[in-house]
Amino acid sequence: MNFIETRGNDGQHPEKVSFSEAILAPISSYGGIYSPEHLPDLGIDFLQQHLNSNYKTLARAILGAFEIDIDQAVIDKALSLYDAFDDSSNPVPVTKVDDDLYVSELYHGPTRAFKDMALQPFGVILSAMAQKRQENYLILAATSGDTGPAALETFKNRDNVQVACMYPDGGTSDVQRLQMVTEDAANLKVIGIKGDFDDAQNALKRLLGSATFKARLKEKNIHLSAANSVNFGRIIFQIIYHIHSYLELVRQNAIELGDKVYLNVPSGNFGNALGGYYAMKMCLPVEKILIASNRNNILTQFINTGKYDLRQLSVVATTSPAMDILKSSNIERVLFDLFGSERTRDLMLQLDNEKYYELTPTELAQLQAIFAADFCDDDEGKKYIKNTFAKGYLMDPHTATCFKAYDTCRDKALKTIVYSTAEWTKFSPVIANALTGEVDAHDIDALQSIAKEANIEIPVIISALFDKDIAQKSIIEKENIEAEILAFL
């Protein structure tokens, strides 16, 4: 299968690229991104056929339908990483929580958040491609918390890939920071920046624009790559669990094959939701995809009004920080799929230039035929955490935003799959506060208090972090990043 450009072709870029090229060079003409030329049409027969397939068999069949240019042995090795999730026979358990509400848990991987679902297999694929081409890659990442640990974990000790990861010192949770600074593999560099996430991100942007930096990389024969959430190498792995979760509901006799469901997704950069959209187009009977946001509710505004308006907005810090995003990158692929490349180019260039665009009423109706949206502020989120815990289910603040959309966006009494994107251990101070009202300055106190309250153990993978040696000690001014990374290379 080939990939084509969301903003059309400018004559400077190839019009079509293979899957591996789309992964290595994710940026295309006019600043667009690559999207599948067409999606595989699997239909209901595919679901019937895979009713009793395990996760990896299903994954192999879905990836096979995309006809990607990756050797089967590499794909199998990539998928084998799901064996190390909590339950090797089922990396994504689906639990009934309330009436029509089922939670699909995407956090049973090594860093206890949903980024592992895609980044774990992606790390194997990128490294295999680099080895095959006999090239070396540097992955640069600025993280506010979840992507950094997941990227380090997947690339550690992998051949032909190095990672330099920047985080705002003091701007992540203790667990997130420890997950990064205790990584000791020689191909990983973790750098704390004195400043906030914007400073880390801007430092990264300056670095990418630096002529001396680029010249030094060229001298060392190192290519730059990104593992960010527009990379189709991540998106493809995010289609699988939507189909798996639907089949789980059939297997649990919650629905019959062919019944429609709602998918309910806590959204930031829209990678998870896009995976659901593609799954729907390929085969899944979906009534609507419910998009949940926090106070950074631009997606709610967009889906409800057709206006994507950044003019008066700046990001506000919330208790669901992985969703503190205003420029939601993967929306572009939905626009492209619905309205074509010319229209997408116009809209995205308008967003770049005027920080604003608006759909026509007909376009908005098309969007609303697929998506509905609502947002949940921090106080509402805490209430959902507390009330749901009282019913016997412990969840994190990102997952909680979905419960609001479940209450407000459904107009049919259909079964609903809520996607849980982080384990309680990742955002424990917020959860402890929701449950008991306590205010903890340190994760360890919150973890212990939740464990006691819920009568559960802190997973060893988390508790062990507090005893590990700190391998990554750099905390620097943002001006010194270039020198720091060059010294590492």
Which residues fall within 8 angstroms of residue 22, CB to CB, at 6 or more apart?
Answer: 3, 34, 232, 233
270 contacts ligand PLP (rule: CB under 6 A): yes
Query: According to CB under 6 A, which one of 272, 294, 425, 474 is a site residue for ligand PLP?
Result: 272
422 contacts ligand PLP (rule: CB under 6 A): yes
Query: According to CB under 6 A, which one of 114, 137, 246, 406 is a site residue for ligand PLP?
Result: 114
Please check whether residue 473 is in contact with residue 182, taking contact to mean a CB–CB distance below 8 angstroms. no
264 contacts ligand PLP (rule: CB under 6 A): no
Of 157-165, 268-276, 310-318, 358-366, the window that binds ligand PLP (rule: CB under 6 A) is: 268-276
CA of 127: how far to CAs of 12, 37, 77, 338, in Å? 27, 25, 12, 33
103 contacts ligand PLP (rule: CB under 6 A): no
Window 321 to 360, contacts with ligand PLP (CB under 6 A): 322-323
421 contacts ligand PLP (rule: CB under 6 A): yes
Query: According to CB under 6 A, which one of 36, 149, 271, 276 is a site residue for ligand PLP?
Result: 271
Q: What is d(CA 418, CA 407) in angstroms, rounded to the nearest whole number?
A: 12
Of 14 and 110, the one with the shorter C-beta distance to ligand PLP is: 110
| Phi, psi dihedrals of residue 266, rounded to the nearest 5° | -75, 120
290 contacts ligand PLP (rule: CB under 6 A): no
Of 20 and 267, the one with the shorter C-beta distance to ligand PLP is: 267
Render 422-467 in DSSP notation, one character per residue: B-GGGGHHHHHHHHH----SSHHHHHHHHHHHHT-PPPHHHHGGGG
Strand partners, 419: 104
Window 143 to 172, contacts with ligand PLP (CB under 6 A): 146
CB of 404 to ligand PLP, least distance (A): 15
Which residues fall within 8 angstroms of residue 225, CB to CB, at 6 or more apart?
Answer: 24, 126, 137, 138, 139
DSSP-based three-state secondary structure for 16: strand
Which residues fall within 8 angstroms of residue 253, CB to CB, at 6 or more apart?
Answer: none
DSSP code, position 29:
G
The secondary structure element, H or E, covering residue 4 is strand 3-5
Query: According to CB under 6 A, which one of 281, 398, 410, 415 is a site residue for ligand PLP?
Result: 398
CB of 7 to ligand PLP, least distance (A): 21
CB of 456 to ligand PLP, least distance (A): 19
269 contacts ligand PLP (rule: CB under 6 A): yes
Binding residues for ligand PLP, per CB under 6 A? 113-115, 146, 229, 266-273, 322-323, 398, 421-422
